[in-house]
Amino acid sequence: MHAYANPTRFLGVARPLAPWLFWIGIALILGGSAAGLFLAPADYLQGDSFRILYIHVPTAWLGMGGWTGIALCGVMQIVWRHPLAAVAARAVAVPGALFTALCLATGSIWGRPTWGTWWQWDGRMTSMLVLLFLYLGYIALASASAKSGEQGGVSRVTAIYGIVGAINIPIIKGSVVWWNSLHQAPSIGFSGSSIAPSMLWPLGLTVTGFTLWFMAIVILQMRAILANNRIEARLRRMARG
């Protein structure tokens, strides 16, 4: 757990890794999107409107996965005092919020021809909107922590907020099962998938591509935060001297 707690050791791995993750992610996103648009057959009920799932599903997965990462980093920060946990959590917040917003936007675009409305106060959509507000609150708290000089830019209160906010993740996951929902039931589970293989493999490419791209963005964010922390520490030492 503490193998890469040293920022110098972490940066030694992060510098060469980030470009690989970024460009492989981009290639898989483009390849999967092209396959989804031009090779996958139209859905027998939704027609071509279903093709937005190649963007919608990865953004939904990463919106939820990002907050799960924030919660885990919060636990590591509070329990094990991992020196990079706060930096990682702060780095996840902005891309996590962006992907959550993209999930809501693509869901609304898909909902207009499918449901006849841009928005419905459905359990899944409402809980995803709550997740976006949680992200915005976390970003505000982390920003305030950074200005107050907290180590890593995330205070203990902010870390607890991230942990408590994770309650919303199982609510998002179970919303289509627990309540009457316009949103379709889960299509992929441990027992298999109800999506035809000809439609499923491009989704695998875009999910993998967006995940790698997300990881690259988080690593770049962490590098920027660490660099900024070093500059601020140097300026403080110069001011004292």
For 43, list phi and psi in degrees, rounded to 5. Answer: -70, 145
Rounded Cα distance between 205 and 51, Å, is 14
Give 11-44 pLDDT, tens digit per residue: 888 899 999 999 999 999 999 999 999 999 988 7
State which of 100-104, 106-110, 185-189, 222-226 shows the largest mean pLDDT.
100-104
Predicted confidence band of residue 151 (pLDDT cuts 50, 70, 90): low
Q: Is 183 left (phi over 0), alpha (psi -120 to 50) or beta?
A: beta
Cα-Cα-Cα-Cα torsion 184, 201, 38, 56, nearest 10 degrees, comes to 40
Rounded Cα distance between 36 and 52, Å, is 9
Three-state DSSP class for residue 241: coil
> In the chain, how long is the greatest CA-to-CA distance?
72
What average pLDDT does the segment 87-95 reach?
95
Measured CA distances, 31 to 28, 36, 64, 206, 215 (Å): 5, 9, 24, 8, 19
Rounded Cα distance between 142 and 134, Å, is 12
Q: Is 102 left (phi over 0), alpha (psi -120 to 50) or beta?
A: alpha
Assess whether pLDDT exceeds 90 at residue 152: no
> What single-letter amino acid sits at 180?
N
Residue of 142, 68, 61, 139 whose CA lies nearest to 100: 61
- The encoded tokens of residue 47 equal 């027609």
Q: What is the mean pLDDT of the chain?
A: 87
Predicted local confidence at residue 97, as pLDDT: 98
- The encoded tokens of residue 49 equal 């409107």
Predicted local confidence at residue 238, as pLDDT: 66
How many beta carbons lie within 10 A of that of residue 27, not counting itself? 13
- The encoded tokens of residue 230 equal 């070093």
Predicted local confidence at residue 236, as pLDDT: 62
Q: What angle do CA 124, 128, 130 make, to 5 degrees?
A: 120
Q: What angle do CA 137, 139, 144 make, to 5 degrees?
A: 95
Q: For residues 216 and 8, is the Cβ–Cβ distance under 8 A?
A: no
Threshold 0.85, pTM exceeds: yes
Domain boundaries, the chain: 19-37+46-181+197-236
> What single-letter amino acid sits at 107?
G
Q: CATH: 3.40.50, 2.160.20, 1.20.120, 1.25.40. Which one for 19-37+46-181+197-236?
A: 1.20.120
Residue of 79, 214, 71, 93 whose CA lies nearest to 146: 93
